């Protein structure tokens, strides 16, 4: 009896490079700076798109951390959409392009990232449930990722001293 099992080829392993969390953080920081984006925004988009799963493929064929479609990846000159660093570069470049196109209007740029520029008309997020939910989700993640670490926040109910040392108000 002969048993055959699939074996990963060199080309398979080359196409699906796996990066450490630290490598991903570095790539996010680098491309955020390169494309004048807040790193927290890139992290929020990645969280919403792929939940940081490097090789995830959507039902619609979008690939990787930033969920680039093959056509979008080709337009952005991403040679290997499964390479997470290239994927982040392409997604960051696309976000910068969309923010420029919509004069910095983040909800419109996010809607176009999700649904396509052809669906964002009249300066409004399109009436597509999935797109509206996506925009809300990314903005929520962005606020969470942009918030100061918990240790730096004031604890609830703490009395803040007034100008003359007396208690002036309570933080709720």
By C-alpha distance, which of 39, 40, 61, 44 is closest to 135? 44
pLDDT tens figures, 22-69: 999 999 999 999 999 999 999 999 999 999 999 999 999 999 999 999
In this predicted model, which residue has the larger pLDDT, 168 or 29?
29
CATH of domain 17-144: 1.10.530.10
Q: Which of 14, 49, 130, 154 is catalytic?
A: 49
Confidence (pLDDT) at 61: 95
Going from N- to C-terminal start, the domains of the chain cover 17-144
Is 49 designated active site? yes
Q: Does 106 score more than 80 pLDDT? A: yes
């Amino acid at each position: 009896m002969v048993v055959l099992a699939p074996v990963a080829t060199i080309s398979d392993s080359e196409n699906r490079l796996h990066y450490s969390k630290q490598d991903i953080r570095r790539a996010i920081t680098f491309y955020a700076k390169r494309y004048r984006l807040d790193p927290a925004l890139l992290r929020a988009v990645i969280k919403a798109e792929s939940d940081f799963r490097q090789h995830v493929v959507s039902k619609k064929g979008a690939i990787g951390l930033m969920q680039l479609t093959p056509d979008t990846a080709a337009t952005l000159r991403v040679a290997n959409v499964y390479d997470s660093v290239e994927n982040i570069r392409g997604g960051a470049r696309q976000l910068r392009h969309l923010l420029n196109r919509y004069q910095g209007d983040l909800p419109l740029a996010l809607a176009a990232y999700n649904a396509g520029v052809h669906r964002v008309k009249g300066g409004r997020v399109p009436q597509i449930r999935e797109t509206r939910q996506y925009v809300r989700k990314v903005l929520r993640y962005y606020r969470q990722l942009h918030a100061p670490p918990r240790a730096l926040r004031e604890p609830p109910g703490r009395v803040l001293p007034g100008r003359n040392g007396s208690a002036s108000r309570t933080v709720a």
